[in-house]
Amino acid sequence: MNAHLQAIYALQEVDIEIRKFQRKLHELDPGRAEEAALQAAQAQFQQVNSVTTITERDLRDAELELQTVETKKKDTEKRLYSGSIRNPKELDSMQHEIEALGRQRSSLDEKILTLMDTVEEHRKAQLDAKQALVQTESNYQARKKLYQATRNQYENELTNLAQHRQELAAGIEESWLKRYETWCKQHAGIGLSRVVKGDCEACRTSLPLTLVDSITKTDAIAFCENCGRVLVSGVNE
């Protein structure tokens, strides 16, 4: 058993954990779907609001126009029946004007009724859009809160792991740290493999008994013939 190998194996375990949390942190979803849903709900709410405002304004305009038409019709009728106008041509033209104003009033009445229905529909859509907005906002906030909490947790883990790594590395000779770096580079970050029940743990290959014997009983450095990793014995077997 080589104590240096055991020490750098412990370092490798910490490095694996660090990479795991770094990856988890990187892959953590800050709530992209919820944010997109919120933005869509905001856009929908704004759109419904603007349509409602326009329809309400159209309704007010139509109601004002109706008032004007009614006043004009009443005034003309008043003049017609006052007896002050005797010219038949003028009376005839006033009669026609009253009829025209009556038609105008009917069409405005119709328009107003339609607009009132539309305004009602839009107000209902406005309420629905508002509700959807409140819901998506709440979903987004909840997701963000969860994200932040998980992020904090991972960052704490990473801080602790970094500290632990520093402590471990402080107890390892520089030359062994350099070897460790080299071995890890050669094998995608995992340069050492435990011997577990006579197998190389990393690649599951059965190791020759003489080789296992040699690394168990001496300080010899041996490599797995299959995956090429440095074999470590005596670690939590």
Residues forming contacts to Zn ion in the complex (CB under 5 A) are: 200, 202-203, 224, 226-227
Name which of 102 and 234 has its Cβ closer to Zn ion: 234
Calpha distance 3→222 (Å, rounded)? 14
Helix, strand, coil percentages, rounded to 5, for the chain: 75, 5, 20
| 21 HSE (CA, 13 A, CB side) | 18
Considering the complex, state which of residue 116 and residue 196 has its C-beta at the smaller distance from Zn ion. 196
In whole angstroms, how far apart are CA 77 and each of 15, 83, 84, 97? Answer: 96, 11, 12, 10
Question: Is 126 or 226 the residue whose CB approaches Zn ion more closely?
Answer: 226
Residue among 44 and 226 whose Cβ is closer to Zn ion? 226
Q: How far is the CB of 192 from Zn ion (least distance, A)?
A: 10
Shortest distance in whole angstroms from residue 212 CB to Zn ion: 12
Give the start-end residues of each E strand in the chain: 192-196, 199-200, 230-232
For Zn ion, the closer of residues 63 and 199 by Cβ is 199
Least distance (Å) from Zn ion to the CB of residue 200? 3
Closest distance of CB 231 from Zn ion, Å: 8
Strand residues in 152-216 grouped as ranges (E): 192-196, 199-200
In the complex with Zn ion, the residue whose CB is nearer, 30 or 189, is: 189
Smallest gap from residue 223 Cβ to Zn ion (A):
8
Q: Compute the least distance from the CB of residue 193 to Zn ion, in Å.
A: 5
| Strand 230-232 versus strand 192-196 pairing type | parallel
Q: What burial letters (b/e) apply to 3-13, b meaning 16+ CB within 10 Å?
A: ebbebbbbbbb
